[in-house]
Amino acid sequence: MHNRSRRRFLGLGAAWSAVLVACRPKTAAPVAEPRALGAAVSSYGSRSPHEKSARFFNQNTKVPLEEASSRTPLHDTYGIITPSSLHFERHHSGVPVIDPATHTLTIHGLVDRPLVFTVDELRRMPSVSRIYFLECSGNSGSEWRGGSTDSDVQRVHGLTSCSEWTGVPVAALLRECGIQPSATWLLAEGADAGKHARSIPIQKAMDDALVAYAQNGEPIRPEQGYPLRLFLPGWEGNTNVKWLRRLKALDQPAMTREETSKYTDLMPDGTARQFTFDMEPKSIITRPSGGDTVAKGAHQITGIAWSGRGTIARVEVTTDGGATWNTAELQSPVLPRAHTRFRWSWTWSGDEAVIASRCTDDTGYTQPRLAELIQVRGMNSQYHNNGIQAWKVAADGKITNGNRA
């Protein structure tokens, strides 16, 4: 047994050996272990006081914090699941306080039997649990016009998170209500003060949409829509209406404020792209990244890739600004419409370098360079920037945003 695990250990490869040699302690004995009893059992867990990772939000802004966003510390997360406490937030009129005993979901409009569901009734129906990313379409929006050199992966790209979501398929609820053939759209409305609302094509509702009530094994947290949210796998964050109170079947989109004045992209010719739902394939290196300082030698480059259109098929990493690309290892599980963890072993020589990743999904779409996106979309866009993110490594090892290079 010993021999076998030693062989496996040695089999991890040259890059691993280099990292482990670098890790070998240089001083003698480890610190003494505690000699007194530790803490007792407790009713609700908390993290070590040594861990300080937190959502970032700009407190120095004229935007009221009730309609602001906070960003996931992607640099500090592991694997593909985002802790619920660190899932990014974007609110339009604050987090409402809702009692699940009185909250209901109404389905009406072009249906044979309008129905009102209580939260308890929904929790007792057959459910599914699926791991999906959720990304705000404004994620990476600062980079359209060249981001700040001191911005880090959390500030630039922290509006994406990934969770296991549990809920009831919307299709089952619509069938229960007798959805009519003339129904082509659904208006989804939240119970927040501003009644955030979006129109959703009926095909998506019948395909994989959920009325979700749980996230990562616990009831959805208030800032993620407690007690109910619409979940549309792979679609832009704001369509996943939180605090869901109403689904109305319509024969045309409702043209709500959030799909006319907002969440559209102004094109160079003055027209606007509207109903841009899919979040396109995208990847980012999370470690090492902006704000880190690396030493010469072996590094594991790691990051996440995702596609709202399907499953990540390939991730490539460059360390020479895109001249050559290397195939990264995808860490299982690799799931449709979920974050996918990738890694690639890099030995840094000490010369200036530009590192970046690009992904390809199973539809064959490859993440474009930002310059290629700008050629098509111009410079007026705020949303849907899935361009390749570059990090610049200076000769002293300091890493900054490389999108301006």
- Residues forming contacts to Co ion in the complex (CB under 5 A) are 137, 236, 276
Residue nearest to Co ion (CB): 276
In the complex, the smallest distance separating the C-beta of residue 55 from Co ion, rounded to whole angstroms, is 23
Torsion angle defined by CA atoms of residues 370, 234, 341 and 353, in that order, rounded to the nearest 10 degrees: 10
**Is 276 or 289 the residue whose CB approaches Co ion more closely?**
276
Q: How far is the CB of 276 from Co ion (least distance, A)?
A: 3
Residue 384 CB, nearest approach to Co ion (Å)? 5
The least distance separating Co ion from the CB of residue 260, rounded to whole angstroms, comes to 13
Whole-number minimum distance, CB 99 to Co ion, in Å? 33
In whole angstroms, the minimum distance from the beta carbon of 209 to Co ion comes to 17
Closer CB to Co ion, 133 or 391, in the complex:
133
Nearer to Co ion, 137 or 360 (CB): 137
- Residue whose CB is less far from Co ion, 135 or 236: 236
Residue written as token pair 């539809």: 363
Q: Count other C-beta atoms under 10 Å from residue 49's C-beta.
A: 6
Least separation in angstroms between CB 236 and Co ion: 5
Closer to Co ion by Cβ: residue 197 or 301: 197
Q: How far is CA 337 from CA 34, 78, 161, 279, in A?
A: 45, 18, 11, 9
**Least distance from Co ion to the Cβ atom of residue 163, Å:** 21
299 versus 384: smaller Cβ distance to Co ion:
384
